[in-house]
Structure 1
Amino acid sequence: MVQEGHHNHNQHKRQISKANGQEINVDVLVIGAGPTGLGAAKRLNQINGPSWMIVDGSEVPGGLASTDITPEGFLYDVGGHVIFSHYKYFDDCINEALPNESDWYTHQRISYVRYKGLWVPYPFQNNISMLPKEDQVTAMDGMIDAALEARVANTKPKDFDEWILRNVGVGIADQFMRPYNYKVWAVPTTKMQAAWLGERVAAPNLKVVTKNIVLNKSAGNWGPNATFRFPAHGGTGNIWIKLADTLPSKKTRYGEHGRVQLIDAPNHRALLGDGTTINYGKLINTMAVDSLVECMRDEELTKLSKGLFFSTTHVIGVGVRGSRPERIGDKCWLYFPEDNCPFYRATIFSNYSPNNQPQSSKKLATQQLADGSKPESSEAKEGPYWSIMLEVSESSMKAVDTPNLLRDSIAGLINTEMLSPGDEIVSTYHRRFDHGYPTPSLEREGVLTKLLPKLQEMDIYSRGRFGSWRYEVGNQDHSFMLGVEAADAIVNGAVELTLNYPDFVNGRVNAERRLVDGAQFFKSKEGIRHGDEEVPLRPVANGH
């Protein structure tokens, strides 16, 4: 293995030395201008100490939080993104990028699960009072059994499926949790671990659920995103474009000038697409870690990274002429556990901002009716317009009929009464994102506890949704702070809370605490002190 590594190393030297472009020296190189990379760059620029540069192979910053626009003028994010935050520093940076009240719309989440032709308020397990009576009985039977068994259980759940059974019972597991999570993750729940859950799944209160059934009431809003913000213009991607604009342009490289071809880790060098060589002291990587180790041509780490599982996300957009139907109303996003549609989630994207679709005065031709038939006229007509964004997962365990996915998705919208057969579709969108979700598989920690420390020994801090592969800290605020904290760790030796203590930042230790810029965190034998609080040291095992 040493000889192979030596061979790869020499091959790197030959390939990089052939580059005819310029050489640049920086203390810190940041790869990727999504939320994590921009967080790192923002913090490095603020510290105003080490020299740095951020590079990205895309022409526009944003990464997996970017926004596309169709030729007809409909906007679609890379999946269902909304802004809610666990961090004041994140809030401050976002508010600097989009500082005016008119830059934002604030929404109350209105979210439902589609089940047997009904709209059941989210979360499903808190609202079984809305189900048909027989299904209520099935759900309650399982919940009572689960509650009784939880009293005597003295072991942790061995996987996500067992966690579901212990928390909500077999009834709700079969009605919603198992089918929905398979549609989301593209793997069975038995192949996923449970440590990632944190605040993402609502644990039901048996007494409250029983009371709601007797009184025929639904439960109120739950969760960290019950209220969220959305940009007035440009979709989610506009946040990151504006934030990138706050950085000095001479330290940013996009497109071919920023595409990383090779990384010579032993010599701390990166070769870019235009032939430029960047010599770095430390590297903050935010590209997918499996892609990173391939760029390093490191056979041992590439083999190790094969143990990480991910799903691919298809984002489908449908732009419709006409006023938004009453049955759609103010709904935000909707969940679909059943097999009468390929998508697991639909977002009424036109509800987030009136600028996510063309103005009513814009004339567009009808491309097709929702039932697939051709329109009577090809003449362009005025709006108004509304839009739906759909997400479909794909993996080696869940195949997708890609050529027919748009057609099947529109049929699914009719099956679930989101569209009527005669609705006029004026715009469609379909884009496949190879790395969509970093799956919390049973094997994940075994890989990460080896891979991330091995990279860090080479002065490579791999962070972000796919850089550090922890979905539980993969939202936009988490991702941004993973970059910020990596920069702080490099410059000041600070603790990387988001990477190592996901339960803490997600509020399980202190639900109301917001992490404040400049707050003094330091390690003691007992734990991490934050002001007067002692936070127990139970880090995620990743070798640090």
Structure 2
Amino acid sequence: MSASDSSSSHSAADLKSSVTSIEGNYAEVETLVIGAGPTGLGAATRLDQLGRSFVIADAAPAPGGLASTDVTSEGFYFDVGGHVIFSHYAYFDDAIHRALPKDEDWSTHQRVSYVRSAGNWVPYPYQNNVSQLPLDLRVKCVDGLIAAAEHRAQTPGHKPKNFDEWIVRNMGEGIADLFMRPYNFKVWGTPTSKMQCKWLGERVAAPNVRTVVRNALTMETAGNWGPNATFKFPMKDGTGGIWTAVAKKLPTEQFRLGKAGEVIRVDGPAKVVEFGDGRKLKYKNLISTMALDGFLDCLDGGAEQRSVERMRSTAKEGLVYSSTIVLGIGIRGERPNRIGDKCWLYFPEDDAPFYRATIFSNYSPFNCPQTDVKLPTIQKADPSLPFEKDAKQGPYWSIMLEVCQSAEKPVNLESLMEDTIRGAVATELMLPTDEIVSLYERRFGHGYPTPSLGRDGAISQILPALRDEFNIRSRGRFGSWKYECGNQDHSFMLGVEAVDNALFGTPEMTLHETDWVNGRRNIERRLK
């Protein structure tokens, strides 16, 4: 469902007054929001709450951005990446519960997550559960942990210069070699030595040496850790269903989607945006959620063009990203016991091209076709095995897998699906005899904004310059290029706070004080 299908409580008179015609050529709006993903919808929700004039534009035909959901012709749903709902903000909770207000709209899960290592399923976080490794690897990890603790005691004032130093200082060489280095390279497509460590915050657990050693001796495992140990997921329509529902609460006429929302050129000094359908829109405030590098390519600085060129050069030198390829496999049969209630799984080793797999059918029974739907088999997981081609009914289950592609980590796209299925068999996600009934693949050029060594220097120059010189606030996962505030709740609130900053000068805490935001329950804003 696109936003143009949605209903609204706003009157036609209210909607018509939001955008004013200017000499038949331009229209004028107080705030233009580029992008209808979580950040753009957060901005639009706040503007609508305040009763202010706005337009929200996106080149996609429906809202959701990088938090949308695709459905295959066979009826399997796959998110465009691994997304779950957990929140630091009352305002965000208000918005999604207003959009999906019924208990039956949601399912709640306890995270069941593992790392595939040395042929074993090691509970997440890996560094707290090395007790599940073979003895020789367990010794290597514990020895490294103790050596790291001794080194920290000898150098209390030392601060790691990059992510790799942080890993070794906190976890030791054993865990670094077995998990942290190979896994993070598979995720980011960038060596850990080329990444900073300021972004870590609550995302990586520093192990307690005493607990790890005790568990290694007793063979016990550590409990769940992290902000997403419990998470919510929509019962129907995947993660994208959240954002189409959020969009339905906004006035339909304020959306420009598809060609009408495709940004061709931004005239910074004149504050005019030209769209793919040839129309132009003048704004007072611009909140862009486009990828920052792509937005700068569209920006015309006029007399300030030298400043724009400097920003482009800074972005090219300091901003690093990887592409993400999402693959989905729909399988006929009962969910196997070896899969159980697993949620998402990590794969640091090179026997599979994917870094993460999600048992997507575990999130909701509606993520797969229902049992009575008859589907033909495409192939067995081992393609050399014979199979019956006649359509048969289910039940069905599904796996969603993610692969990183970057300049330093190339991917053979032609054989990727074949390699992925082979990797799923090698890691015991699938058996050779499993019947595959649906295959899905989609590549996203901008998948992860890398916390590279040059990132903070780049965004500290570019983001203030855009705001001060052109009254443009670039926000969102790739708009502000800060992975540590790129979850759905963060992204939504980046848009909300950008609006308050533009209109009232309110500080943007999520962007500038992410650790502070993540360490508390934020109730200052409510959507009431």
Band of TM-score, shorter chain? over 0.9
Hey, what's the Cα distance between the residues in 1 that align with 2:258 and 2:72?
A: 21
Deviations 1:278-299 (CA, angstroms, capped at 9, x unpaired): 1001100001010100111443
Unaligned stretches of 5+ in structure 2?
A: 1-22, 301-307
The reply to whether residue 275 of structure 1 matches residue 278 of structure 2 is: yes
Secondary structure of the residue aligned to 1:491 is: helix
Which letter does structure 1 place at the counterpart of 2:316? K
Secondary structure of the residue aligned to 1:120 is: strand
Hey, what's the Cα distance between the residues in 2 that align with 1:474 and 1:229?
A: 17
Hey, what's the Cα distance between the residues in 1 that align with 2:25 and 2:72?
A: 37
Equivalent of 2:425, from 377, 396, 414? 414
The reply to whether residue 168 of structure 1 matches residue 178 of structure 2 is: no
Aligned to 2:365: 354
Hey, what's the Cα distance between the residues in 2 that align with 1:21 and 1:306?
A: 39
Hey, what's the Cα distance between the residues in 2 that align with 1:237 and 1:426?
A: 23
Aligned to 1:26: 29
Q: Is the contact between residue 35 and residue 289 of structure 2 (CA under 8 Å) also seen in structure 1?
A: yes
Secondary structure of the residue aligned to 2:490 is: helix
Aligned-pair CA distance for 1:252: 1.2
The reply to whether residue 514 of structure 1 matches residue 517 of structure 2 is: no
The reply to whether residue 88 of structure 1 matches residue 99 of structure 2 is: no
Q: Is the contact between residue 142 and residue 168 of structure 1 (CA under 8 Å) also seen in structure 2?
A: yes
Equivalent of 1:484, from 490, 496, 507? 496
The reply to whether residue 443 of structure 1 matches residue 450 of structure 2 is: no
Equivalent of 1:285, from 256, 271, 288? 288
Which letter does structure 2 place at the counterpart of 1:412? G
Secondary structure of the residue aligned to 1:263 is: strand
Hey, what's the Cα distance between the residues in 1 that align with 2:74 and 2:443?
A: 20
Q: Is the contact between residue 288 and residue 473 of structure 2 (CA under 8 Å) also seen in structure 1?
A: yes
Hey, what's the Cα distance between the residues in 2 that align with 1:89 and 1:155?
A: 39
Equivalent of 1:495, from 507, 510, 517? 507
Equivalent of 1:107, from 109, 132, 145? 109
Q: Is the contact between residue 377 and residue 387 of structure 2 (CA under 8 Å) also seen in structure 1?
A: no
Hey, what's the Cα distance between the residues in 1 that align with 2:25 and 2:487?
A: 36
The reply to whether residue 434 of structure 1 matches residue 451 of structure 2 is: no
Aligned-pair CA distance for 1:171: 0.6
Aligned-pair CA distance for 1:24: 1.3
Hey, what's the Cα distance between the residues in 2 that align with 1:221 and 1:431?
A: 31
Equivalent of 2:472, from 460, 466, 469? 460
Q: Which moved more, 1:146-155 or 1:262-271?
A: 146-155
Deviations 1:336-357 (CA, angstroms, capped at 9, x unpaired): 0000000000000000000001
Aligned to 2:342: 331
Q: Is the contact between residue 343 and residue 363 of structure 2 (CA under 8 Å) also seen in structure 1?
A: yes
Deviations 1:196-254 (CA, angstroms, capped at 9, x unpaired): 00000011111111111222210000000000000000000000000001001111111
Secondary structure of the residue aligned to 1:30 is: strand
Secondary structure of the residue aligned to 2:115 is: strand
Aligned to 2:311: 301
Which letter does structure 2 place at the counterpart of 1:472? E
Q: Is the contact between residue 380 and residue 387 of structure 2 (CA under 8 Å) also seen in structure 1?
A: no
Secondary structure of the residue aligned to 1:516 is: coil
Hey, what's the Cα distance between the residues in 1 that align with 2:232 and 2:288?
A: 28
Hey, what's the Cα distance between the residues in 1 that align with 2:385 and 2:280?
A: 54
Secondary structure of the residue aligned to 1:39 is: helix
Number of positions where the alignment pairs a residue of Structure 1 with one of Structure 2? 495
Aligned to 2:261: 258
Aligned to 1:146: 148
Equivalent of 1:211, from 186, 190, 214? 214
Secondary structure of the residue aligned to 2:392 is: coil
Deviations 1:100-150 (CA, angstroms, capped at 9, x unpaired): 000000000000000111000000000011111111110011100111111
Which letter does structure 1 place at the counterpart of 2:503? V
Q: Is the contact between residue 32 and residue 63 of structure 1 (CA under 8 Å) also seen in structure 2?
A: yes
Aligned to 1:136: 138
Hey, what's the Cα distance between the residues in 2 that align with 1:518 and 1:438?
A: 28
Hey, what's the Cα distance between the residues in 2 that align with 1:72 and 1:517?
A: 45
Hey, what's the Cα distance between the residues in 1 that align with 2:167 and 2:267?
A: 44
Hey, what's the Cα distance between the residues in 2 that align with 1:479 and 1:35?
A: 6
Which letter does structure 2 place at the counterpart of 1:38? L
Query: TM-score, structure 2 length as denominator?
Result: 0.92
Which letter does structure 1 place at the counterpart of 2:426? N
Q: Is the contact between residue 311 and residue 461 of structure 2 (CA under 8 Å) also seen in structure 1?
A: no
Q: Is the contact between residue 115 and residue 347 of structure 2 (CA under 8 Å) also seen in structure 1?
A: yes
Equivalent of 2:123, from 105, 111, 121? 121
Aligned-pair CA distance for 1:374: 6.1
The reply to whether residue 243 of structure 1 matches residue 246 of structure 2 is: yes
Unaligned stretches of 5+ in structure 1?
A: 1-19, 508-512, 520-544
Aligned to 2:185: 182
Secondary structure of the residue aligned to 2:281 is: strand
Secondary structure of the residue aligned to 1:306 is: helix
Hey, what's the Cα distance between the residues in 2 that align with 1:97 and 1:253?
A: 21
Deviations 1:382-424 (CA, angstroms, capped at 9, x unpaired): 0000000000001000000001000000000000011111110
Hey, what's the Cα distance between the residues in 1 that align with 2:385 and 2:430?
A: 16
Hey, what's the Cα distance between the residues in 1 that align with 2:413 and 2:338?
A: 29
Deviations 1:346-388 (CA, angstroms, capped at 9, x unpaired): 0000000000010010000000110123643211100000000
Q: Which moved more, 1:210-219 or 1:185-194?
A: 210-219
Q: Is the contact between residue 34 and residue 63 of structure 1 (CA under 8 Å) also seen in structure 2?
A: yes
The reply to whether residue 505 of structure 1 matches residue 512 of structure 2 is: no
Aligned to 2:322: 311
